[in-house]
Structure 1
Amino acid sequence: MNNFFKNYKGIIYLLIGITAGSILGLIFGKKVEVLKPIGDIFLNFLFTAVVPLVFFAISSSLANLNPSNKLSRMMGVMSLVFLATVLISALLTILAIHIFPIHEQIKVIPLTEHIEKKPFGEEVTRLLTTGEFYELLSRKSMLAMIIFSVIIGFATLRAGEKAAAFTRFLHAGNEVFKQVFILIMKLGPIGLGAYFAYQVGVFGPQLFGTYARSLGLYYGVCAFYFVFFFSLYAFIAGGMKGLRRFWPANFIPSATSVGTCSSIATIPANLEACKRMGIPDYITNVSIPLGATLHKDGSSVSSIVKMAVVFAMFGKSFNSADVILLALGMTVLVSIVEGGIPNGGYVGELLFISAYGFPPEALPPAMIIGTLVDPMATLLNATGDNVATMLITRFTEGKNWLK
């Protein structure tokens, strides 16, 4: 019981804050608008911290790579498998949203600021670049800042020993802003509680139906993906023998991921599972640790669900090709970025809200959904690494790898 509370205490505290805020909103109605500034302060802290946090996380991880490591066939296959499975889970979720729409009865929240629609070419230019360096420091330029962070990371790597001091600076900045984010999130139960009280008091209890429908869709998609698509991947990797190897070996990692709510904590169980499946050590020892950070099928599903809900709540269409393409790109980006950051899912929410130009009011609904789906997301994130490693082995070692 103590371990359960330790692993889930962050979620428990957030749920207590959300519940308390909901009760206040139901009891006092629009009078709880007085609490909105508390929620605004919490959101402002988050938006202020996210830019340096993501910059240091990306640039330091690239700057600290070993430049002598060359991309092998296995690394190339691993990248393709990770990308493909994340996109497949996202596309499945988009299809599910169109079959079972969650937006039809969602009450639209009036926008507090106008979102200007520009031609697609201008939108791409604005998202990927800025005209001035200082504009990179704005949360509205998150994608441009991420691209710049990648360039900084590789430039530092190329500079070698001459940039040793700068490399240490990036590493130190990464550690510092991880702690900054952890400290800010300690205010989460109060900040989200205040904001949820405001939303329930002003927009009514119909919000609960919004979350119930989105959560039902999320857990349904995840259960389907976990059973059928993981079985399909295992079959592609090794036929019926692959299926018989995968599911028995995957039981302990599944229990570990749900019990710890952490992909990182599931790494030892995943390593042992891959050993039982007969996967070579040189693949397992690279794929599992990197997968825990970079490969997140569950987060992919939740990203699409959160985007669809936020779009519906603000009366915007989630059907156009440019919106869906950007959603897929953001999903891949979130999967990569959030792995090395505490409460990384919340950073992902900040990213897509900034990329689409939504106001701060869009963040609490996305954070609430992210909190409620975390156990199932972790199950898919963590155990998806095992079946992905099977696929990597199949395309690296050949179809007879099980023999």
Structure 2
Amino acid sequence: MKNLIKKWNSISLILRILIGMIIGVVLGLLVPQFKVVSILGSVFVGALKAIAPVLVFVLVMSALANASVGIGGRFRTVIILYMLSTLLAAVVAVVGSFLFPVTIKLDVAAASNTPPSGIGEVLTNLINNMVANPVASLMNANYVGILFWAVIFGLALKKLAAPATRKLVSDFADMVSQAVRWVIQLAPFGILGLVFDTVAENGLGIFTDYGKLLLLLVGCMLAVALIVDPLIAAVFLRRNPYPLVFRCLKESGLTAFFTRSSAANIPVNMTLCEKLGLEPDFYSVSIPLGATINMDGAAITITVMALAVARTMQIPVDIPTALILSLLATLGACGASGVAGGSLLLIPMACALFGISNDIAMQAVAVGFIIGVVQDSLETAINSSGDVMFAAVAEFHDRMKRGEEVKF
């Protein structure tokens, strides 16, 4: 048995995940009644979600407490990259919606969730989450609060703590990181359970009922992931970015697609950053930051769904209004992590720009929940893989300015 486990672990993790995916699809189609298989997915996602808040807190705190001088420029660069990418994603969604207009059926029972009343409420929620009780933030996986307090404690440790204390914090961060590596080794079995659950519950019918809307969403997201984001990376790196793009999609986007949680994928992203040779002081902060403000997929979802509702209601939308919608979707998407229900519950806020009532807009939210098995999965994959890619671009850009050799 020991030799069998050793041989299994010697296989590439991506190949093992693909094997798990294939087995999950086969089981989901042949024996969908065997619900016990889906427990594997629940356990895997649960373990990632449980460890991720602790990982982010201790890594950010340790990174700042032991930080070397001179990486402030990288943080400015990565924030610019995150925000620019999200804005351009919203613009792509506007262009796609104008080129391929779609309508949706607005006869779906409204979702029970309560959306934010406007961008002001979204930003207020963001600020309130930032100053929430640090213990409560860890318990509730409030990453805005976790980041805020980890930064505060990390800076305090750097200023006041003895070297031995900072070393202890660093050792604790290493311990949590090792636990994360063990959890990630279970990914093939977790993906098997997640794929089985998706296939058994939804089959292929989701592609026919809302096919045009899904195609538009998927098309916009792929355009951003394969054209827009690589173009941004190419401008900063001045070299072919696609090896980096495809590696991030393969090693980060694949797991994010099935876990459907940017928070759960933070440990996966940090492991990938380590493989890429990035500095822990930098990526331990930039990755959780990206999970909060790098929201390309969310901006696309908000924009496409709002314009689909407007077209269904036969409300004319001109170019200036559409560009304002892009900016609104960008700001809203950055605050989506602080709103229960994520990007879908920001659709009514965007619809309000066109004077569409909340009752009508909430029906679009319900449609979003129906197609979420595809939309939310791809949205998370685009968001999460972008976190790693832009973190890498920011660090490689900084190294290249100093004349260092960069390989990826």
Report the TM-score when normalising by structure 2.
0.56
**1:227 aligned to 2:226?**
yes
- Structure 2 CA distance for aligned equivalents of residues 8 and 358 of structure 1: 40
Q: How far off its partner does 1:391 sit? A: 2.6
- Structure 1 CA distance for aligned equivalents of residues 310 and 135 of structure 2: 35
Cross-structure match for 1:87: 87
Cross-structure match for 1:328: 326
Moved more, 342-351 or 281-290: 342-351
- Structure 2 CA distance for aligned equivalents of residues 177 and 244 of structure 1: 33
- Structure 1 CA distance for aligned equivalents of residues 376 and 302 of structure 2: 12
Going from structure 1 to structure 2, the CA distance change for 1:141 and 1:280 (only over 3 Å counts) comes to same
- Structure 1 CA distance for aligned equivalents of residues 116 and 221 of structure 2: 31
3-state DSSP of counterpart to 2:263: coil
- Structure 2 CA distance for aligned equivalents of residues 169 and 276 of structure 1: 30
**1:307 aligned to 2:309?**
no
Structure 1, unmatched stretches of 5+, are: 10-64, 110-137, 158-166, 179-207
Cross-structure match for 2:42: 6
RMSD of aligned alpha carbons: 4.2
- Structure 1 CA distance for aligned equivalents of residues 351 and 250 of structure 2: 36
Cross-structure match for 2:96: 96
Alignment-mate amino acid for residue 351 of structure 1: M
- Structure 2 CA distance for aligned equivalents of residues 152 and 382 of structure 1: 24
Contact persistence 1:258–1:376 (CA under 8 A): yes
Cross-structure match for 1:60: none
1:338 paired residue among 327, 336, 358: 336
Cross-structure match for 1:283: 282
Cross-structure match for 2:262: 263
Identity of aligned residues (%): 18
Structure 2, unmatched stretches of 5+, are: 1-36, 46-60, 108-113, 144-206
Alignment-mate amino acid for residue 229 of structure 1: V
CA-to-aligned-CA distance 1:185-223 (integer Å, 9 cap, x gap): xxxxxxxxxxxxxxxxxxxxxxx9893322111112222
Cross-structure match for 1:376: 378
Contact persistence 1:93–1:304 (CA under 8 A): yes
Moved more, 372-381 or 218-227: 218-227
Cross-structure match for 2:157: none
1:402 paired residue among 362, 381, 406: 406
Contact persistence 2:347–2:364 (CA under 8 A): no
Contact persistence 2:119–2:328 (CA under 8 A): no
- Structure 2 CA distance for aligned equivalents of residues 253 and 140 of structure 1: 30
- Structure 2 CA distance for aligned equivalents of residues 349 and 314 of structure 1: 15
Alignment-mate amino acid for residue 218 of structure 1: L
Going from structure 1 to structure 2, the CA distance change for 1:330 and 1:4 (only over 3 Å counts) comes to farther
Cross-structure match for 1:142: 118
Going from structure 1 to structure 2, the CA distance change for 1:281 and 1:368 (only over 3 Å counts) comes to same
Going from structure 1 to structure 2, the CA distance change for 1:277 and 1:303 (only over 3 Å counts) comes to same
- Structure 1 CA distance for aligned equivalents of residues 366 and 331 of structure 2: 18
* Matched pairs, number: 277
